[in-house]
Amino acid sequence: MRVGAVTFPGTLDDTDTLRAIAASGAEAVPLWHGDADLRGVDAVVLPGGFSYGDYLRAGAIARFAPVMGEVIDAARGGMPVLGICNGFQVLCEAGLLPGALLRNAGLHFVCKDQWLKVENNTTAWTSRYEPGAEIIIPLKNQDGRFAAPRSTVDELEGEGRVVFRYLGDDPNGSLGAIAGISDKTGRIVGLMPHPEHAIDALTGPSDDGLGMFLSALDSVVAS
């Protein structure tokens, strides 16, 4: 089982993501933005950071990187893809997920441990969680406010595609306190908080994040 993590110029969390992939038991495969090659991986994670300095819009330039053509083709073919933070922004810019991530409503960079509710545990990245599980993982972003036309939000809610929701105060003004969503198939998931920073209670607030990486392995085995 091979799971890749993409490094763009300005990506910060590729190392922790590769570490989380390895901790889940998969072979962690570094992928490079400039190579149109997924190196035979079974699933892909787009990690967080500030690709291309967030110039223009967060994720707007990264989505045209050579590796993204391969990611988009593979995602449309059913490969599990997870976008974390900046990776979520890239997936939205690429049109693989609906909506957009805008400047936090409070204008502050938010950095804290955040409780989330797992609203959908049937996606490729959440099957290891109990229904309605409450998890705590780090949240750290400047542009984390999920925005979309009302009709899109209604569709996401109606189809169970709100995968994660913030518990407590909405930290960034996201519509419906949405922290993460999926595509129609449940194989492409994006979220603002960082599961890769919460795989070991020694260094994170919990090991609640590991379940996402384990879920993807189950999903690949099942397909």
The site for other proteins (CB under 8 A) is made up of 56-57, 60, 92-93, 98-100, 102-107, 145, 147-149, 173
Q: For residue 93, give both structure tokens.
A: 């810019």
Closest CA to 27 of 38, 41, 11: 41
In the complex with other proteins, the residue whose CB is nearer, 4 or 59, is: 59
Q: For residue 43, give both structure tokens.
A: 């699933």
Q: Which of 70, 85, 93, 197 is catalytic?
A: 85
Largest CA distance in the chain: 43
The answer to whether the CB of 120 falls within 8 A of the CB of 182 is yes
In the complex with other proteins, the residue whose CB is nearer, 26 or 148, is: 148
Active site residue 85: yes
In the complex with other proteins, the residue whose CB is nearer, 107 or 202, is: 107
Q: Which of 70, 93, 119, 196 is catalytic?
A: 196
Report helix, strand or coil for 137: strand
In the complex with other proteins, the residue whose CB is nearer, 78 or 149, is: 149
The answer to whether the CB of 3 falls within 8 A of the CB of 29 is yes
Active site residue 194: yes
Shortest separation between residue 147's beta carbon and other proteins, angstroms: 5
Active site residue 157: no
Shortest separation between residue 158's beta carbon and other proteins, angstroms: 19
Shortest separation between residue 57's beta carbon and other proteins, angstroms: 6
Shortest separation between residue 107's beta carbon and other proteins, angstroms: 5
Q: With 0-12 CB in 10 A as exposed, 13-18 as middle and 19+ as buried, what is 133?
A: middle
The answer to whether the CB of 111 falls within 8 A of the CB of 26 is no
The answer to whether the CB of 173 falls within 8 A of the CB of 105 is yes
**Amino acid occupying residue 135:** I
Shortest separation between residue 103's beta carbon and other proteins, angstroms: 6
CB atoms within 10 A of CB 108: 11
In the complex with other proteins, the residue whose CB is nearer, 40 or 151, is: 151
Instruction: Point out the residues that are catalytic.
Output: 85, 194, 196
